[in-house]
């Protein structure tokens, strides 16, 4: 497809279960990002991929959270032993790699529609 695709769009899971969220970025985009947004809150950065490597995973809130990206394309965010505070919408985004110059617009990032996670 033309845009960032995420699945599942909605997930209800029981506390303590593991969940996997999938992101299929825009074709050709080398950079992939995961953000989290809790109800009424701002976007919280989780992790960034350049190709298959993750040079910035500073936003992962705990070791229950992990992510991988294969083939420079699809990424999976895994949350183990889910807790109620994990309930949020998990947003994936992709872009071309930003170039480090004083660019005017740079390359923006495009978001998927998100995976809405509810832990009960």
Residue 8 interacts with other proteins (CB under 8 A): yes or no: no
Residue 25 interacts with other proteins (CB under 8 A): yes or no: no
Residue 57 interacts with other proteins (CB under 8 A): yes or no: no
Residue closest to 45 by CA, chosen among 54, 33, 53, 55: 33
Q: Which of 91, 94, 117, 119 binds other proteins (CB under 8 A)?
A: 91
Q: Binders of other proteins: how many residues, by CB under 8 A? A: 28
Stretch that binds other proteins, among 8-16, 17-25, 68-76, 98-106 (CB under 8 A): 98-106
Residue 56 interacts with other proteins (CB under 8 A): yes or no: yes
- Alpha-carbon separation of residue 67 from 61, 76, 103, 120 (angstroms): 12, 6, 30, 23
Residue 103 interacts with other proteins (CB under 8 A): yes or no: yes
- Alpha-carbon separation of residue 31 from 39, 46, 49, 107 (angstroms): 26, 14, 6, 10
């Amino acid at each position: 497809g033309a845009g960032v695709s995420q699945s599942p769009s909605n997930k209800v899971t029981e506390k303590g279960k593991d969940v996997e969220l999938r992101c299929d970025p825009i074709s050709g985009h080398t950079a992939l990002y995961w953000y989290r947004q809790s109800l009424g809150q701002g976007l919280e950065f989780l992790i960034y991929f350049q190709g298959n490597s993750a040079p910035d995973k500073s936003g992962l809130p705990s070791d229950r959270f992990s992510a991988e990206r294969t083939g420079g394309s699809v990424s999976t965010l895994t949350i183990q032993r889910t807790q109620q505070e994990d309930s949020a919408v998990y947003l994936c985004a992709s872009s071309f790699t930003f170039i480090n110059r004083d660019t005017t617009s740079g390359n923006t990032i495009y978001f998927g529609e998100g995976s809405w996670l509810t832990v009960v």
